[in-house]
Structure 1
Amino acid sequence: MSTLAPLRLLREPWNASEGNQSNATAGAGGAWCQGLDIPNELFLTLGLVSLVENLLVVAAILKNRNLHSPMYYFICCLAVSDMLVSVSNLAETLFMLLMEHGVLVIRASIVRHMDNVIDMLICSSVVSSLSFLGVIAVDRYITIFYALRYHSIMTLQRAVVTMASVWLASTVSSTVFITYYRNNAILLCLIGFFLFMLVLMLVLYIHMFALARHHVRNISSQQKQPTIYRTSSLKGAVTLTILLGVFFICWGPFFFHLILIVTCPTNPFCTCFFSYFNLFLILIICNSVIDPLIYAFRSQELRRTLREVVLCSW
């Protein structure tokens, strides 16, 4: 191995020989199977943007005492998870650029160790990001359906235990994954975890939207203002669509890639799909860029603090 490869453990199926993969790719034919040639500079740029955005979110939450609540702590942890994606991507891209231009020469054994460390960081950030997305959804659900009991349910102590448990589970699972990545059972666990989080978020947000719609309908019927009902319902539907749409679009192709590795490693169509792995990584990094816009910058208090941070008015 002469260069680093982002998430090399998942780039191609390990239960198909190299000759079979080449024949399948040739059989599938055409330029469609060549994938996309994504320049390292794009990885570098997106990684920097994501890193800056999430650093601003963390700094703003730490600065403003009004934001020291479980909900914003979860958002802060999500930002840290996204920063792990950015940092590991930046480190890997920089090493690749330095090695491609001959500035840095490293032995193959060291490169493999670096790959393992970076892959572990990326896997840990993937698991923690998905986990905190689910935690934020649950927190919002409790806020809406148990508003009067929220502070007794989601205490600071429970929030800290939740955050510590997520980070511990992410670290352990990423270590297990890197160690036993050739076992299909590990991939199936990762795929199952993604599907569980997707269904959890879908059920919770639909339930929250249904409750909001019911309240607006009651208010509209009392005040005889159907326009308000339609406007609020449309706004809620748009927000729900954005949240679930971005989540599925950014993470879906990556996990579909994992499903194909398990189910059809030598199929020509699957082999062609594997060639677009870099595109799936770009989508995950884009999710790290979009997350602050959806979960953080929508808060007026947080936006005000962000302006203060940017202007260095500490």
Structure 2
Amino acid sequence: MNDTSYHNLIMKHMDHNALMYGWDNITNISLGDQNNTECAQVMIPHELFLTLGLISLVENILVVLAIIKNRNLHSPMYYFICCLAVSDMLVSVSNVVETMFMLLTEHGLLVFTPHMMKHLDNVIDIMICSSVVSSLSFLSTIAADRYITIFYALRYHSIMTTQRAVTVIVIIWLASTISSTLFIVYYTDNAVIVCLVTFFCITLVFTAVLYLHMFVLAHVHSRRIVAFHKSRRQATSMKGAITLTILLGVFIICWGPFFLHLILILTCPRSPYCTCFFSHFNLFLILIICNSLIDPLIYAYRSQELRKTLKELVLCSWCF
């Protein structure tokens, strides 16, 4: 995990443009002639990556199973949350698979040819890119769903039907897979990183605008809902909006350093201060994995129905 996968696309891009001479060189560049101090690469044990990846994978599998099992959770919002959990699973699976291969290779239990390693890296890179694009897309979709629930409560079921929700889900997954594949094929082009950063910024702005509008006008709109005896529905909708606000905040905190990393590659790849920032990349990977680990805890904490179903699944699996 430490030197491939998440960083593979970036390093390929940088090597192609002769900006760097590999990850090992990046992490040992001096901060300049002024102080002659080196920025040592932050090393994190493979076992920690593997442990966090396995815990995250189990958590997200439980969330998906809980949503499938409980009919009360069969609604568009929970369908989107289920897909968000699947996106987190892509991160966990890629992390677990790559770390296991690295551990087996280090101990001489598995031998890879360069051709096999290249294909493995490409597959893992596609999974990671798909996870990023789909996660951002589903966060925006959930924000739009909450917006419709709050401001078009009486027409929600006619606007956000199950068929439309499924159509949105299929479109997002197709777009994520196709775009991720293209990103890997054309990794040598600056446009790849520019597109990722631009998509990240656009989706965050779109989601932030929706949430701002929701929270500013929700109080006024709630009076109209109360007049139609829908106060309970309004409270539930706002709770869902708050939950997704927390999810978005966690996503920004965990993925922000990674996207800052991409921005610095475009703006100051040769600067000693930027290369010092690059040396902390393994910490950024831990944050990304932690995002996949924290999300299920947020679902469970904010949804009593989901929490109840998760408890049942855990108890049943324990008894079995």
* TM-score, with length taken from structure 1: 0.86
Q: Structure 1 residues 208 and 296, CA, compared in 2 at 3 Å: closer, same or farther?
A: farther
Q: Give the Å deviation of 1:24.
A: 8.6
User: Which residue in 1 is equivalent to 2:167?
Assistant: 161
Name the TM-score, length of structure 2 as normaliser.
0.84
How many angstroms does 1:35 deviate by? 2.9
Identity of aligned residues (%): 68
Counterpart-to-counterpart distance in 2, 1:199 and 1:213: 23
Aligned-pair CA distance for 1:132: 0.8
Give 1:225's aligned residue: none
Alignment of 1:20-59 (within 5 A): 25-28=29-32, 29-31=36-38, 33-59=39-65
CA distance in 2, matches of 1:67, 1:154: 15
Encode CA deviations 1:106-147: one digit per residue, 9 max, x unaligned.
112211111111111111111111111111111111111111
Equivalent position to 1:184, from 182, 190, 194: 190
Task: Go from structure 1 to structure 2 and tell me whether the alpha carbon gap of 1:301 and 1:27 turns closer, same or farther (over 3 Å shift).
Answer: closer
In the alignment, which residue of structure 2 is the partner of 1:227? Answer: none
Q: CA, structure 1 residues 188+152, in 2 after alignment: closer, same or farther (shift >3 Å)?
A: same
State the distance in 2 between where 1:238 and 1:176 align: 35
Structure 2 unmatched runs, 5+ = 225-238
The 8 Å contact of residues 60 and 296 in structure 2, kept in 1 or not, is answered as yes
Map of 1:9 onto structure 2: 9
Partner of 1:289: 293
Residue 285 to residue 11, structure 1, CA distance change in 2 (3 Å): farther
- Is residue 146–residue 240 contact of structure 2 (8 Å, CA) maintained in 1? no
**Range 187-196 or range 240-249, more displaced:** 240-249
Deviates more, 1:292-301 or 1:10-19: 10-19
Q: Which residue of 1 aligns with 2:141?
A: 135
Residue 236 of structure 1 deviates from its aligned partner by 11
Q: Distance in 1 between matches of 2:294 and 2:26?
A: 36
Deviation at 1:243, TM superposition (A): 3.9
Q: How many residues align?
A: 295
* SS at structure 2 position matched to 1:280: helix
Deviation for aligned residue 1:294: 2.5
Aligned to 2:90: 84
Distance 1:243 1:203 in 2: 16
Letter in 2 for 1:9: L
1:196 aligns with 2:188: no
Amino acid at match of 2:21: E
Q: Structure 1 pair 181/149, CA: closer, same or farther in 2 (3 Å)?
A: same
2:277 to 273, 276, 287: 273
Query: Using the alignment, how far apart are the partners of 1:217 and 1:147 within structure 2?
Result: 13
> Unmatched 5+ residue regions in structure 1?
219-234
- Match in the other structure for 2:120: 114
In the alignment, is residue 171 of structure 1 matched against residue 170 of structure 2? Answer: no
